[in-house]
């Protein structure tokens, strides 16, 4: 299994520590707590905190250190980027109501993939199938199910640290989310980037959990409508890459079909690649 078991226990409430500028025993740079902005927060209600965000771009070393300490401080570090929006007040976090992590436990990758595949391929009596067989090849309108696990080519956390350095720029900020693994941040943040694809994120988080286990994936960067992952065990064979590409189509169909035009073309793009990037309309 590629996902390292997280057995450390946080000795203090992570959000309480963030309020005073600490992650565990580590003092943080200047930052602020982001709070829920969803419509369920009524007049006079105090919105709960979702995560902490730095006021300036972080150093790569700080991110690597916090990633190594996430077992003990109960916080997942990632880059938050929002070129055109105000942090925390629009679609990066908190616009849709956050969900409990327990909701992710209710989903399995096979179930998520099958449900979305069927929805994307449903037949309209006048227009025919939403996607033709050429764009779905080597698959058809029947969901093929998840791909086999990849072979580990690098240490997952070392690779994540290396790729994070390439993503740092003036628009990125350090985010610290009270979650034990990166896959869960979409759900606990109330992220709305994929709302034109799925109404809630628990199913997508379940897929990400499976990718952590099968492909050594790590969540690196989250924006209003995009997500970037490092991948320590990518598919290297053509057939395997196609099977993974089928999963990616159910996860972010806009990224696959609008950028690449077909599952087969997209599969060649990700074959052997150690970073997966997704976006949603």
For the residues 221-250, what does the mean pLDDT come to?
96
For the residues 237-262, what does the mean pLDDT come to?
96
Q: pTM of this prediction?
A: 0.89
Q: What is the per-residue pLDDT for 85?
A: 47
Whether 174 shows a pLDDT value over 60: the answer reads yes
Contact status, residue 226 vs residue 259, Cβ threshold 8 Å: no
pLDDT digits (tens, 9 = 90+) for 117-157: 999 988 565 655 678 899 999 999 999 999 999 999 999 99
Q: What is the DSSP string of 38-84?
A: STTS-TT--PPEEEEEESSPPPHHHHHHHHHTHHHH--EEEEEE-SS
Whether 205 shows a pLDDT value over 50: the answer reads yes
3-state secondary structure of 212: helix
Contact status, residue 156 vs residue 218, Cβ threshold 8 Å: yes
pLDDT category, 4, cuts 50, 70, 90? very low
In angstroms, the CA 196 to CA 183 distance is: 20
| Tokens read off for 31 | 């930052």
Q: What is the per-residue pLDDT for 86?
A: 45
Q: Alpha-carbon Rg of the chain, whole angstroms?
A: 19
pLDDT digits (tens, 9 = 90+) for 206-233: 999 999 999 999 999 998 889 999 999 9
Whether 44 shows a pLDDT value over 70: the answer reads no
Q: What is the per-residue pLDDT for 122?
A: 80
pLDDT category, 35, cuts 50, 70, 90? confident
Q: CA nearest 189: which of 174, 178, 199?
A: 178
Q: What is the per-residue pLDDT for 123?
A: 59
> Residue 114: in which H helix or E strand, if any?
helix 109-120
Burial of residue 255 (CB within 10 Å: 0-12, 13-18, 19+) is buried
Whether 38 shows a pLDDT value over 90: the answer reads no
Whether 13 shows a pLDDT value over 90: the answer reads no
Whether 88 shows a pLDDT value over 50: the answer reads no
Q: What is the per-residue pLDDT for 103?
A: 95
Contact status, residue 141 vs residue 199, Cβ threshold 8 Å: no
Whether 41 shows a pLDDT value over 60: the answer reads no
Residue 105's contacts (CB-CB under 8 Å, 6 or more residues apart) are: none
Burial of residue 157 (CB within 10 Å: 0-12, 13-18, 19+) is middle
Task: Say which residue, 92 or 89, is predicted with more confidence.
Answer: 92
Q: What is the per-residue pLDDT for 203?
A: 96
Contact status, residue 59 vs residue 156, Cβ threshold 8 Å: no
Q: What is the per-residue pLDDT for 281?
A: 85
For the residues 158-175, what does the mean pLDDT come to?
94
For the residues 200-210, what does the mean pLDDT come to?
96
């Amino acid at each position: 299994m590629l996902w390292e078991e997280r057995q450390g226990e946080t000795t203090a409430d992570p959000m309480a520590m963030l309020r005073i500028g600490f992650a565990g025993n580590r003092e943080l740079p200047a930052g602020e707590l982001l709070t829920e902005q969803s419509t369920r927060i009524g007049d006079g209600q105090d919105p709960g905190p979702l995560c902490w965000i730095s006021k300036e771009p972080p150093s790569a070393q700080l991110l690597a250190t916090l990633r190594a300490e996430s077992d003990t401080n109960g916080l997942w570090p990632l880059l938050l980027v929002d070129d055109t929006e105000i942090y925390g007040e629009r679609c990066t976090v908190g616009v849709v109501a956050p969900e409990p992590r327990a909701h992710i436990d209710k989903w399995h990758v096979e179930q998520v993939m099958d449900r979305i595949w069927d929805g994307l391929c449903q037949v309209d009596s006048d227009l025919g199938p939403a996607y033709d067989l050429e764009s779905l090849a080597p698959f058809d309108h029947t969901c093929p199910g998840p791909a086999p696990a990849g072979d580990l080519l690098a240490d997952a956390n070392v690779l994540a640290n290396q790729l994070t350095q390439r993503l740092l720029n003036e628009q990125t900020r350090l985010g610290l989310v009270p979650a034990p693994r990166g896959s869960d941040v979409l759900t606990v943040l109330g992220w709305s980037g994929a709302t034109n694809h799925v109404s809630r994120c628990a199913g997508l988080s379940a897929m990400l959990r499976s990718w952590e286990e099968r492909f050594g994936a790590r969540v690196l960067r989250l924006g209003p409508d995009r997500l970037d992952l490092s991948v320590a065990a990518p598919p290297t064979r053509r057939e395997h890459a196609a099977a993974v590409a089928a999963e990616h189509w159910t996860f972010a169909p806009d990224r696959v079909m609008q950028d690449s035009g077909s599952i087969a073309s997209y599969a060649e793009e990700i074959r052997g690649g150690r970073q997966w990037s997704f976006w949603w309309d």
